[in-house]
Structure 1
Amino acid sequence: MESTSQSYVPSVPSTKLAKPSFWKKLRGHAVGDDKPIGYLFILPALIHLAVFTLIPILFSLYLSFHKWSILKPAKPFVGLKNYIKMYHDTDFWRAMVNTFYFVFGSVPTGIAVSLLVAIVLNRKLRGVYWFRAFFFLPVVSSTVAIAMVWQWILQPEFGLLNYLLGFAGIEGPKWLMDPKWAMFAVIIVTVWKGIGYQMIIFLAGLQGIPEHLYEAARIDGANKWRIFWSVTLPLLMPTVFFLTVTTIIGSFQAFTVIYMLTEGGPVGSTDVVVYHIYEQAFRVFNMGYASAQSWLLFLIIFVITIIQVKFMKKFNYEH
């Protein structure tokens, strides 16, 4: 009789890969998947960046070669006429001079004062955290509200500042109403508002300096002034560079303080480039010409930033 037993066939494991889970896709590139699902999480930010930043930038470049009033749909092509007009526009170049005056007046002063405040508040003093919060308060306050308060402080007849100067026998100027003093007053308000932010950055840099370097300098007989120049300042140069670059860019784009305090006056003494662009765009409704001015301002900021980067690299190489 023939055997009826069935032969045993071993099972062969399947070579088909299991479908990766959602979390594997989220963590990175899963097996057989070239695009992680994590890209979906940055998609809203990319859409926001494209709609509200990239597209307006490209549209402004397009407008700089056209003549367009926001009240009319037609956009006739004018080529380089907007840029040629800007070259001969004395009001625009006066605003550019005022902008450089504002930048060179506010940036070095703000950085120097902020560094001094940071050094003082870096010590272990009683209630030092309250003082830090006090100096940082203007940063988180509304610029519009701050400007309204400073308008009262700088008022020539019953303002607080001239009232205090009167106790010292000093006749205060007209500040915002005097072309000679208006920009100086704007610089004071700008520096006061920016001290808190720059102070926090300097505090982070100061607290990153190793204590043993100060101890070694004291053992060598260095005084406080020598320690500052030989230890503190060189190690703070990356922080100074960062604040210089960002503050210069922000100063070239100053608008709110100018708009609230002086509106470019008196007699155009505080008319900076961004405020001048605003007037061309939303008061004269010359969008094409305003766009051309914006792109020139961008090129100036870009060149100045590149020069600062080159200078910092050279400084690091030499030291």
Structure 2
Amino acid sequence: MAEINMLQAINDALSMAMETDDKTILFGEDVGHFGGVFRATSGLQDKYGRDRCFNTPLTEQGIAGFANGLASNGMTAIAEIQFADYIFPAIDQIVNETAKFRYRSGNEFNVGGVTFRTPYGGGIAGGHYHSQSPEAYFTQTAGLKVVVPRNAYQAKGLLLASIRDKNPVIFFEPKRLYRANIGEVPDGDYEIELGKAEVVREGKDITLLAWGAQMEIIEKAADMAAKEGISCEILDLRTLAPWDVETVATSVKKTGRLLINHEAPLTGGFAGEIAATIQEECFLYLESPISRVCGLDTPYPLIHEKEYMPDALKTFEAIKASVTF
């Protein structure tokens, strides 16, 4: 075990994937000798050569199209989109090609070896072009898996599982935790199963559900609620597509309440899909309406970032409102 931060864990996972599979190719804007804007790929070009870790032109659509081409020829393609905000020019390739490749051929050919890595979310004063959380755009696209880790340990295990999965995966990395989250991570090779939520803390009064950077937010809110005598069960969804309905429903049937927290805007956010499904699964068990604590329906603000963020205090107030409904 080693005490490392999330960036180091991601770098370790990428190195391990390249070491164990010589068909693994890593590419993106400035990922080569420079190591990427956050240095997530530092040292990998020196270790594995310029043929396996290299820079691309500044064209996200081209990066995604190139990834599809590599994977369709049997390579394992790891493509970095420098910021999640920049993924939109690549949507045509990802949604209309990556996701549908297997289906249009009856599985005669596929691009299951593609993983798109991209840092998402706010909290770093990045303004409206470097702070968005676009995960929900991709959860409604059949053929894609969507994964978000919450800490260094999860990042390494989930990233290795994503790279080795036989389906295309979009791996959103919470950039405000890149260097802020430090934890014990095994030195060796390990994977965390995709599609499985984790019960992080047991509780009996309300279920709190989040993913990525918002996990630390709901944990802080749960600690505040505990001082009021409210027992919170905390779940990390981890994989948004396909998401673990069974684990969430089991928790809600126990607690009778559900609060979903995510950084993306409220309208069209993935919390709405979760809420709709859980009210179908758990309607007779619910003691109060399902609550959503999310970002605002506005372009991500720079000067008002703190007001925008669904923080622990907003979550704590929503917990109290749900329990006293």
- Structure with greater proportional helix content: 1
Flag the structure with larger Rg.
1
Q: Which TM-score tier does this pair reach, normalised by the shorter chain?
A: under 0.3
TM-score, L = length of structure 1: 0.24
Structure with the bigger RCO (C-alpha within 8 Å, sep 6+) is 1
